[in-house]
């Protein structure tokens, strides 16, 4: 199954994608994660996108299309993929359609997750993760049980915050979402692939809605 998750920053795309990976045995293709890995590895491309990402602006279509092409060419998505944070522009959506068609792959469903802007800003500005296992926490909604210790893997002092999870970058990311990415909702609706779910609520509750959208 090949799925695209569309939603504003902080809508919970990554969290739901991780659940789908486990439940459906498909891979998560997150361009945001790939770009953060490129930065962490110190590659030339990683250096080039660092400031753009910290500001909350979009990196070029060429870079992200290249990252997805590499994954599709490697056959990593053989059993299916969840595209998380890609495509974000019409150019990326067209490129993805062409890449998939050339490999005989079909898109099964595009799920748009809706969450109102104030909830998104609150979610993102309080968000932090364990650098060891990736568990996601929140200052107000999900603090760790013991300060500086991950509930899941027990790592100490491993928490980290994304440099773009601050209010100023978040406003830019939201602006870019409404300007460039939300138009894809109409694009996939016109292709008969779109489902919309409410992204507000507990993780399991949203996961239930996701499964209804995908299987219903």
Contacts to ligand AMP by CB under 6 A:
9, 31-32, 35, 52-53, 56-59, 64, 85-86, 88, 92, 164, 173
Q: Which residues contact 6 (CB under 8 A, 6 or more apart)?
A: 13, 110, 111, 112, 113, 181, 182, 184, 185, 188
CB 6 within 8 A of CB 184: yes
Considering the complex, state which of residue 3 and residue 35 has its C-beta at the smaller distance from ligand AMP. 35
Catalytic residue among 55, 71, 127, 142: 127
Catalytic residue among 19, 36, 123, 173: 173
CB 178 within 8 A of CB 92: no
Closest distance of CB 78 from ligand AMP, Å? 22
Closest distance of CB 162 from ligand AMP, Å? 8
Closest distance of CB 179 from ligand AMP, Å? 12
Cβ atoms within 10 Å of 106's Cβ, excluding its own: 10
209 assigned to active site: no
Alpha carbon 85 to its chain centroid, in Å, reads 4
Q: Is 86 helix (H, G, I), strand (E, B) or coil?
A: coil
Considering the complex, state which of residue 15 and residue 149 has its C-beta at the smaller distance from ligand AMP. 15
Residues annotated as catalytic are: 13, 88, 127, 162, 173
């Amino acid at each position: 199954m090949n799925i695209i998750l569309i939603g504003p920053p902080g809508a919970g795309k990554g969290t739901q994608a991780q659940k789908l990976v486990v439940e459906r045995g498909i891979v998560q293709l997150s361009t945001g994660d790939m770009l953060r890995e490129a930065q962490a590895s110190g590659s030339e491309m990683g250096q080039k996108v660092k400031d753009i990402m910290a500001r909350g602006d979009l990196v070029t279509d060429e870079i992200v299309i290249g990252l997805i092409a590499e994954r599709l060419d490697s056959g990593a998505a053989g059993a299916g993929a969840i595209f998380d944070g890609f495509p974000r522009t019409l150019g990326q959506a067209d490129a993805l359609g062409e890449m998939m068609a050339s490999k005989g792959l079909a898109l099964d469903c595009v799920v748009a997750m809706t969450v109102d802007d104030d909830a998104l800003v609150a979610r993102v500005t309080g968000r932090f993760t364990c650098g060891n296992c990736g568990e996601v926490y929140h200052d107000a909604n999900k603090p760790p049980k013991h300060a500086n210790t991950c509930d899941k893997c027990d790592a100490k002092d491993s928490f980290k915050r994304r440099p773009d999870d601050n209010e100023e970058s978040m406003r830019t990311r939201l602006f870019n979402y409404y300007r460039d990415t939300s138009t894809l909702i109409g694009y996939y609706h016109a292709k008969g692939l779109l489902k919309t779910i409410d992204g507000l609520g507990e993780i399991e509750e949203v996961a239930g809605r996701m499964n209804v959208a995908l299987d219903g």
